[in-house]
Amino acid sequence: MGMVGSAIGRHLLESGYRNLVTRSRQQLDLTQQQAVEAFFYAYRPEYVFLCAAKVGGIRANSTYPADFIYQNLAIQNNVIFSAYKTAVRRLMFMGSSCIYPRDAQQPIQENSLLTAPLEKTNEAYAVAKIAGLKTCEAFNDQYGTDFISIMPTNLYGPGDNFHLQNAHVLPALLRKTHEAKQRNNDTLEIWGTGRALREFMYVDDMADACVFLMNNTESRHTMFNIGSGQECTISQLADTIQDIVGHHGEIRYDSSKPDGTPRKLLDLSRLTALGWQAKTSLKSGIEKTYEWFLQNQSKNQEQQ
């Protein structure tokens, strides 16, 4: 499983759930409809966390848009349809905060969806995720299913992808800073101006929110933002990571590279109204993530 699925699995086990059914990408290719249907009919799950997706940062999204839209559409369509056919009691579809308009009013409310153009650098991925949540809504409307969708902010934590070319900003910057320290580099280059604002959430907090919402039957809503409620600039993020890693070189920003969406802070009113909020600070979360990174260096170094 990936970072998100692993975190949800850990949280379920810690909460006393034992009858968990999981499959790795190698064991079950979710882009293959026949294989997915066979799995659902064989195991008849009652609750489904649909976390699987092809993900990546700005560079990966810009380089492989066809892969991002095709693979994500295939994965979610196969799982959602199989969940319907086998009468799954409840399914949770994981979207992304990138579904919202590039220049949405901040903090971004769920009803901002489809009110303005998307950020071009991750448009293909965003369109696939929008299709997924609308598919869930359509099945609820037509067939009375209980499918809910969550839109998490930028996630990070143990098990993240630290690939220098394809990772999201925080894990990529963490690895880049670590390697700059190892090589005694005096400088550290970062894409963009450093002024873009982002909200980051430790993956174990996200897992806690997912299990909380899966068990909640009080809300009339079927779509929820999930986040930490705190934001920082990329420059502030870089400074925090440098401090944790122990690299003190000069940071140079390459303003010829894109910043992506200028600001992306989620409105968490629907979630907090139910009594949930994140517990892990950004510094604490990065410290835990860096500790995991150091313990898994051989695996991380395989990611170029």
The 3-state DSSP class for residue 187 equals: strand
pLDDT at 164: 83
Q: Count helices and strands (H / E) in the chain.
A: 11, 10
Active-site residues, by number, are 125
- Tell which residue, 64, 120, 128, has the closest CA to residue 258: 120
Backbone angles phi, psi at 162, to 5 degrees: -105, 20
pLDDT at 218: 85
What are the residues whose beta carbons fall under 8 Å from the beta carbon of 26, sequence distance 6 or more? none
Is there a cis peptide before residue 107, judged by omega within 30 degrees of 0? Answer: yes
pTM: 0.90
4-18 burial, b for 16+ CB within 10 Å, e for fewer?
bbbbbbebbeeeeee
pLDDT at 1: 74
pLDDT at 302: 54
Domains with residue ranges and CATH for the chain: 3-301 (3.40.50.720)
- Asked if residues 51 and 6 have their Cβ atoms less than 8 Å apart, the reply is no
pLDDT at 227: 97
CA distance 206 to 11: 10
Please return the burial class of 193, using the count of CB atoms within 10 Å of its CB with bins 0-12, 13-18 and 19+: middle
- Tell which residue, 118, 125, 3, has the closest CA to residue 60: 125
**How confident is the prediction along the chain (304 residues), in pLDDT tens digits per residue?**
789 999 999 999 999 998 999 998 899 999 999 999 999 999 999 999 999 999 887 888 889 999 999 999 999 999 999 999 999 999 999 999 999 999 999 999 999 999 999 999 899 999 999 999 999 999 999 999 999 999 999 999 999 999 887 788 999 999 999 999 999 999 999 989 999 999 999 999 999 999 999 999 889 999 999 999 999 999 999 999 999 999 999 999 999 988 888 889 999 999 999 999 999 999 999 999 999 999 997 665 555 5
